Amino acid sequence: MTVAAETKAIATKGFATHGPEAKFEPFEFTRREVGANDILIDIEYCGICHSDIHQAKNEWKDSMPATYPMVPGHEIVGRVSQVGDAVTKFAVGDIAGIGCFIDSCGECAGCTSGHEQYCIKGATFTYNGVEMDKVTPTYGGYSNKYVIDQDYALKVNATGDLSGLAPLLCAGITTYSPLKRFKVGPGQKVGVVGLGGLGHMGVKLAKAMGAEVTVFSTSPGKEADAKALGADNFVLSHDPEAMAALASSFNFILDTVSAQHELMPYLNCLGLNGAMVVVGVPPEPTTIHQMALIMGNRILAGSLIGGIPETQEMLDFCAEHGVTADVEVISPDRIEEAYDRTVKSDVRYRFVIDMKTA
């Protein structure tokens, strides 16, 4: 690398973990220089997704092994502070977002249809990934700057405090996409399993789409919150009588649970032609009996975040409907505490790190 190129690299301050049991520590590194199609974002807020915890602790070791040092974070919002010569989508001062991936091949069926997250060559995830050269590691949003190709950044239409917008970039799109895919709307009964970061967005979005929403939760103390978030009903999922009363009554159920659990009790709540989408990724697999799908012509599907066009659509939908995440803003020295509380299902309903002071 020439001295000139070196000096254009962007000095960045982040917070990294160096192993499954390690604590987060300040970590200084450089972002690439701003290329013709790139923007530099000064990060203001980054949400803490349970996927950060699964990866930081290497809980997905078989499917998505951890590489360290790891700077997690894929719910990023900030302000554009520099643009490359060819950039047309953003101007300096704009608010921009970054979600779970920052590049893809651009040529496969997934990429050309706007579903870049399913890129056949493997999309470049925002952290714990590699650039499309398949060598250069990516570092995420627990940091103060990010350089990204404008085509993979999102436009955020907002004024005032941005903290409640950051979680839309993962929790928002991950719940919006399956709700749209199964055409959730007025007259439909929708269940949301697990009232955490994703779950609370699922409740808000399904309500904004006009559905009747029931929260399935393991936490009795969340009932009042569920109703305040817009849920019509709240059910304790470990109450067999309450679950039995809901048999065959839902059009759609979204499962956001991060830990090991049974799917059958929820499948049995689906009515004729009902669909359940799993988005939660517990470390261990689960089993179902085929009969739970065969009876009632039911569908069980999965869903991974959303592509760039749909993520932009979701952000615009949220701006139109006034939907933001309920957040608890923390300083970067409280990441461990936030992880511990999230694992204990004690997040109300998304921790967001204030990166402005990093």
Q: Give the residues lining the site for Zn ion (CB under 5 A).
A: 49, 51, 170
Alpha-carbon span 113 to 115, nearest angstrom: 6
12 versus 324: smaller Cβ distance to ligand NAP: 324
Our finding on whether 257 is near ligand NAP (CB under 6 A) is: yes
Q: Which does 218 bind (CB under 5 to 8 A by kind): Zn ion, ligand NAP, none?
A: ligand NAP
Residue nearest to ligand NAP according to CB distances in the complex: 196
Residue nearest to Zn ion according to CB distances in the complex: 49
Total residues binding ligand NAP (CB under 6 A): 31
Q: Which does 342 bind (CB under 5 to 8 A by kind): Zn ion, ligand NAP, none?
A: ligand NAP
CB 262 within 8 A of CB 286: yes
Alpha-carbon span 142 to 336, nearest angstrom: 13
Measured from the CB of residue 197, what is the shortest distance to Zn ion in angstroms? 8
Q: Which does 96 bind (CB under 5 to 8 A by kind): ligand NAP, Zn ion, none?
A: none
Q: Which of these, 208, 212, 188, lies nearest to 317 by C-alpha position?
A: 208
Our finding on whether 192 is near ligand NAP (CB under 6 A) is: no
CB 321 within 8 A of CB 208: yes
73 versus 110: smaller Cβ distance to Zn ion: 73
Alpha-carbon span 249 to 12, nearest angstrom: 51
Site track for ligand NAP across 126-165, x = CB under 6 A: ----------------------------------------
Token pair for residue 352?
A: 């967001």
CB 303 within 8 A of CB 279: yes
Measured from the CB of residue 166, what is the shortest distance to ligand NAP in angstroms? 13
What Cα–Cα distance (Å) separates residue 280 from each residue in 51, 170, 195, 261, 290?
Answer: 9, 12, 12, 10, 20
87 versus 170: smaller Cβ distance to ligand NAP: 170
Label residue 107 exposed, middle or buried (CB < 10 Å: 0-12, 13-18, 19+).
Answer: exposed
CB 247 within 8 A of CB 222: no
Binding footprint of ligand NAP on the chain (CB under 6 A): 49-51, 54, 170-171, 174, 194-199, 217-219, 222, 256-259, 261, 279-281, 303-305, 342, 345, 347
